[in-house]
A and B are shown apart, each in its own frame.
Chain A
């Protein structure tokens, strides 16, 4: 019987709190920021591993990026994933959502016989949340975004997923294969498995595919395949504020604040 196969899309981002902006050029200085796995993707792999804990499933990590992603994403193998595919080619660089989702979808095609694709809700550095829908569209598969729980049918052909929406939830049932994004913080990602660590960090082979390996059209990848361009950077305008500092002992500060706040009383 075919082994149930889950692909988790993951990426590496610079740590948000370590990014600085060059005041002259307004460009981001990512050089001095350390990298980490995109935090929402940790929730994605945890959901995949929980499915694996319950049934026989193979979990593969899929990422697109430079070779330096490899050592960082090996953590996913140590957490419990079985394989790691890295789409890496200079020609993939500069991709926007359209080109990124195309490339990832071709990677999923190449992996073959995939039942479930799980992505994080959004990337910490792009924060567009449009990748899961884009992958689903290229593959022609159904999608359920913002999922918090998964339940597979006994024959592994249908997935019931609960998703979180503002003010409530929905439960959807879709035929597999399908693409899901998971709600950020919808689970507690596990730590690395100590026993798996030597294998995951050193021995495990990472499958690296270039553009010729995944049969992509050159016009649809990287910068060439990206309709959107950054045409400018500006310092965000911030509203001028009074910046009046209140002085005095705690008692007097509380009294001054009460005076400022009292007109905003919407009760009474």
Chain B
């Protein structure tokens, strides 16, 4: 059998959380992972530590302590002005072999996936990607990762019984950030890793990141599916009216009617809005997981048999193309009269 560089007998009761940061702040996905790691280990002897890399990690490392982490391992190096998969893999590899955590979790972001994919191979260990939940057996140290199966409503539980660290990446938006009491005695430990420019795998010639559309933060989500036949004008108007955002299922995205970053669900964004309105969406499970945490779901679909009606609070059997304009008008009247 393929053997990892250290096994369960040598692993420490530690959950190590990879912390991504940008412009001096921790990314939301990392904050969610911190909350989850603290929840999984609460009341036990298990240790949770963050791992943060960069040319200046002071602010985000402090933020991690303020979010309840007792310990943050920081690797600062002048060449790490940005994520470079080769240099970051090398640095993380050294720390992991030193610390021997039983569990190492990362966000399923582009950088997190790049890093996790390489690191798991270098450590000869198992990697479960895009998990929707994590469970930890505090006795045995076994991490159980949930992934939504391919197709309807089934989740698969994955484990790496004999390999350490047990690595998982978790999709952004899956874990909620809990507000916890900061640990007063929290420590930031600097670890030196010898790196040079030759450890960088690529030259970054250009980078442009604008305002990032983050549907997972939207309070109101108006979603369109195949049944909209590519017509998103009315949905945009309704979203605008309610101060929300428009999302979509995969078909309109694949057909180019709407940007891919607006795709909701298993292969898109997982959202937690107060309100989700689904229009012309049949309700396939890989979409439904994306709005599962919505407080209220309103579904409009012309087919009375559509699955979506099992997942909604209010259902309307009608053509969304007709309902939405009437709804926009009714809402306008209502807000007008409430202001009168």
Give residues in A with beta carbon < 8 Å to B: 16, 19-21, 26, 28, 96-99, 101-102, 122, 124-134, 136-138, 142-146, 160, 163, 165-174, 184-185, 219-220, 224-236, 238-239, 241-246, 250-251, 253-255, 257-262, 264-268
Q: Is B160 touching A227 in the complex (CB atoms < 8 A)?
A: yes
B: residues with CB less than 8 A from A are 1-4, 85-86, 89, 109-110, 113-118, 120-122, 124-130, 144, 146, 148-163, 201-213, 219-220, 241-244, 253-254, 256, 260-261, 266-267, 274-275, 277, 285, 288-289, 292-293, 296-298, 309-318, 322-323, 326-327, 329-331, 333-335, 338-339
Q: Could you say which of B205, B241, B277, B323 contacts A173, with CB atoms under 8 Å apart?
A: B205
**CB-nearest residue of chain A to B157:** A232
When distances are taken between beta carbons in the complex, the residues of chain B under 8 Å from A99 are: 2
Which residue in chain A gives the minimum CB-CB distance to B119? A137
Q: Are B150 and A28 in contact (CB under 8 A)?
A: yes
Contact B157 A28 (CB under 8 A): no
Residues of B within 8 A of A168 (CB): 207-210, 212
List chain A residues, Cβ under 8 A from B130: 127-129
Q: Are B152 and A21 touching (Cβ within 8 A)?
A: yes
B-side contacts of A220, CB under 8 Å: 2
Most central of A20, A145, A227, A258 by chain B CB within 10 Å: A227
Closest chain B residue to A258, Cβ basis: B330
- Give Cα A87 to B236, complex, Å: 48
Tell me the bound Cα distance from A258 to B277 in angstroms: 12
B150 contacts A16, CB within 8 Å? yes
Within 8 Å by CB of A244, from B120, B126, B204, B314, lies: B314
The residue that B159 contacts in the complex, of A98, A228, A265, with Cβ under 8 A, is A228
How distant is the Cα of A182 from the Cα of B100 in the complex, in angstroms?
34
Interchain CA distance A169-B261 in the complex, whole Å:
13
Can you list 8 A-B pairs with a CB-CB distance of less than 8 A? A28-B150, A101-B121, A143-B114, A185-B254, A236-B153, A239-B293, A243-B310, A254-B327
Distance of B201 from chain A, by nearest CB (Å): 4
Which of A146, A226, A264 interacts with B275 by CB under 8 Å? A264
Contact A145 B289 (CB under 8 A): no
Q: Do B118 and A137 touch (CB < 8 A)?
A: yes
Contacts of A165 in B (CB 8 A): 110, 209
